[in-house]
Structure 1
Amino acid sequence: MKSSTFAVAVSLLLVGCADPDLAGLDRELEALKRDPGELSVEPLPEVPRYRAPGYEQANARSPFLARLPEDAAAPQGERAPDPERPREPLERYALSELELVGTLTVNAQPSALLRAPQGQVHRLRVGNYLGADDGRIVSITGASIVLVETVRERDAWVGRTREMTLPN
């Protein structure tokens, strides 16, 4: 009983969707294609040209940097980094970008293996420099290296001790 009622309902719906006068619709569309009549299309408005404003404060003091007297030269002293010293390859990276991947000792000389951001592994010894703040390696142990960075604090150069350890 239910299936016959369903079949009748579906048949009625399908018959209701059929329109015998589709040929009339096709004739109407063909007539519009042949003679579209007069269409009034307004011309597009002229778009104004955009002029980007120039940035005029490029040479001004940055609001994010501390004020320093114009005539204050960089402090010099026994801890001041040597600007003439040739830079080592790992000095162009921050310490956070470098990874200690191993340490080894050959002929009682400890060495550290550090991976640079591009994936190269560099072998360093005590006295080598790394990091952006003139970090000099002062000791290498089995699981870490200790270095002293030379940083400027107010009007003097100071040494800051940092340690890099092997990941667990």
Structure 2
Amino acid sequence: MRRFAFPWLALGVLALAGCQDAEIPALDRRLDEIRAKPAGRVEPLPQAPRYQAVTYDQAGLRSPFVPERPEPEENAIEGLDLAPNLDRPRDPLEQYPLDGLRLVGTLRTDGRNSALVRDPQGKVHRVYVGEHMGTDFGRIVSITDSSVQLVEVVSNGQGGWVERTRNISLKQATEQGQG
């Protein structure tokens, strides 16, 4: 064990000798000169402006981040007679948005046209004129060899209802790779 003590002791003495630097007294003299100089005068900070609270009194007004809604028109009441019958039983294709339904074919049996419509799950339904499909109360008004025409009843946003015509065609279905 003594054999290892001498090298460690020599290494410690060398390390302590490295801490002695000739520049340290010169550095101490320079710091003393800087401390002996008179200190400069620092200007006082400017007075902070007095805070005045502003109350927000616009809470009852329209938010600028919400689109402005037009005032209801008087003739909107006329559209109430277009309101859909909410009590009638729903057809199976009324649970799907019209954009999710695809026309895959049409048939004519006994002089009556019908259409084959695929739902988003891939099931094909046979529909006739007068049946409903889509989530906007769409009623089928005509079936041709290449399309189905519907009349949807949608809210006009003013308390009334508006009818709009929509078409589903075989051409659209084949363009989208569904035919």
TM range, normalised to the smaller chain? Answer: 0.5 to 0.7
Q: Distance in 2 between matches of 1:83 and 1:65?
A: 29
TM-aligned CA deviation for residue 123 of structure 1: 0.2
Q: AA paired with 1:110?
A: N
Q: Distance in 1 between matches of 2:144 and 2:116?
A: 12
Q: Which runs of structure 2 are paired with 1:99-110 in the superposition (5 Å)?
A: 99-110=102-113
Larger radius of gyration: 2
Aligned to 1:143: 146
The one of 95, 100, 103 aligned to 1:97: 100
Secondary structure, aligned partner of 1:78 = helix
Distance apart, 1:64 and its partner CA: 6.5
SS of structure 2 residue aligned to 1:151: strand
Offset of 1:67 from its aligned partner? 5.8
Runs of 4+ in 1 over 6 A off after TM superposition: 63-66
Partner residue in 1 for 2:166: 162
Ranges in structure 2 where 5+ consecutive residues have no aligned partner: 1-64, 72-76, 175-179
* 1:106-160 deviation line (CA, Å, top 9, x unaligned): 0000000000011110000000000010000000000001000000113221110
Aligned residues: 103
Shifted more, 141-150 versus 82-91: the winner is 82-91
- Structure 1: which 5+ runs fail to align? 1-62, 70-74
Distance 1:82 1:65, change over 3 A: farther
Structure 2 distance, partners of 1:66, 1:88, is 36
Structure having the higher helix fraction is 2
User: What residue identity is the alignment partner of 1:125?
Assistant: Y
Measured after TM superposition, the shift of residue 83 of structure 1 is 1.0
The one of 76, 79, 83 aligned to 2:82: 79
Q: Distance in 2 between the 1:157 and 1:117 partners?
A: 28
TM-score (norm 2): 0.52
CA RMSD of aligned residues (A): 2.4
Please say if 1:121 is aligned against 2:128.
no
**Residues in 2 aligned to 1:88 and 1:96: alpha-carbon distance in whole angstroms:** 17
Instruction: Write the letter of the residue equivalent to 1:151.
Output: V
For residues 5-55 of structure 1, give each alpha carbon's deviation from its aligned partner in whole angstroms, at most 9, with x where no partner exists. xxxxxxxxxxxxxxxxxxxxxxxxxxxxxxxxxxxxxxxxxxxxxxxxxxx
The offset of 1:77, in angstroms, is 2.2
Percentage of pairs with the same residue: 49
2:66, 2:147 → 1: CA distance? 35
Distance apart, 1:65 and its partner CA: 8.0
